[in-house]
Amino acid sequence: MADEALRSQVRQWIAEAPRIAVLTGAGMSAESGVPTFRDALTGLWARFNPEELATETAFRAHPQRVWAWYAHRRAALVQVAPNAGHLALAGFALRHPGRLTLITQNVDDLHQRAGLVDTIALHGSLLDDRWLDPPRTCCHIEPIQDGEPPSCPVCGNLRRPSVVWFGESLPSAALAAAEAAAHDCDLMLVVGTSGVVYPAAGLAFTAHQHGARVAIINPEPSDLDPVADVCLRELAAQSLPPLLETS
């Protein structure tokens, strides 16, 4: 099929599907200017391996270093904004309450800033933090000390970035919600992901196995292409507005 015929087919599927799940990855954020994790290892950070900056072991060994790395990444997000693809998804969800479930591997909150407040963030949020160890009573009633990272002034418990580090499990509630959406959807749009990170990539297989159509929007081939009914080799900001804004 020619490209326009493929787009028309996906538009029709979107119009007809009672339940749509959307899985987004780093490529969609890159279109807004957000560096991928490894692309952000530049300048002072170029000498570090990911495992030195994104594991619990690294944080416990060098909390100031890891906190500074995430502060650097948080500061970079101030310079970026949701792109046309984020806005198209949010607009569709607003016009069609209850039809679209957004699942993202990204931690930049761009979907939420675009208006999709119910986004299922599988890998957490770069802009939030949480306690490193289970909080004690003092962690709730005492002020957090200023510091890098901040800590409880009574027990010393540290705050850490609320993202999923290497070797950690995905948040159980987010994963369960994502799996339910993949199981129940009639159409899954897979946008801007290479499909190599699991368990997120497995959601496309779940959707396919339970009878949903799968449409991939990605300028490059991905590991999920074998389960796709249609592959549109386009950027999200280019492809999603005409697919969604007429529905």
- pLDDT over 60 at 43, yes or no: no
- Edge-to-edge strands, sheet with 230-232: 120-121, 100-104, 20-24, 187-191, 213-217, 230-232
3-state SS record for 20-42: EEEEECHHHHHCCCCCCCCCCCC
Task: Copy the structure tokens of residue 78.
Answer: 């101030």
Residue range 104-127: mean pLDDT, rounded: 97
- Facing residues of 188 across strands? 21, 214
Q: Of 12-16, 38-42, 63-67, 191-195, which gets the smallest average pLDDT? A: 38-42
123 is catalytic: yes
**Distant-in-sequence, close-in-space partners of 48: CB < 8 Å, separation ≥ 6:** 41, 69
- pLDDT over 90 at 142, yes or no: no
Residue range 8-35: mean pLDDT, rounded: 95
CATH architecture of 3-33+81-123+169-244: 3-Layer(aba) Sandwich (3.40)
Sign of CA dihedral 233, 237, 240, 241: negative
- pLDDT over 80 at 205, yes or no: yes
Given 86, 111, 123, 208, which residue is catalytic? 123
CA atoms within 13 A on the CB side of 38: 3
Round to whole Å and give the CA distance between 53 and 50: 5
Name which residue leads in pLDDT, 11 or 2: 11
- pLDDT over 90 at 1, yes or no: no
- pLDDT over 90 at 163, yes or no: yes
- pLDDT over 80 at 102, yes or no: yes
Domain covering 35-79+131-163 in this structure, CATH number:
3.30.1600
Domain range list for the chain: 3-33+81-123+169-244, 35-79+131-163
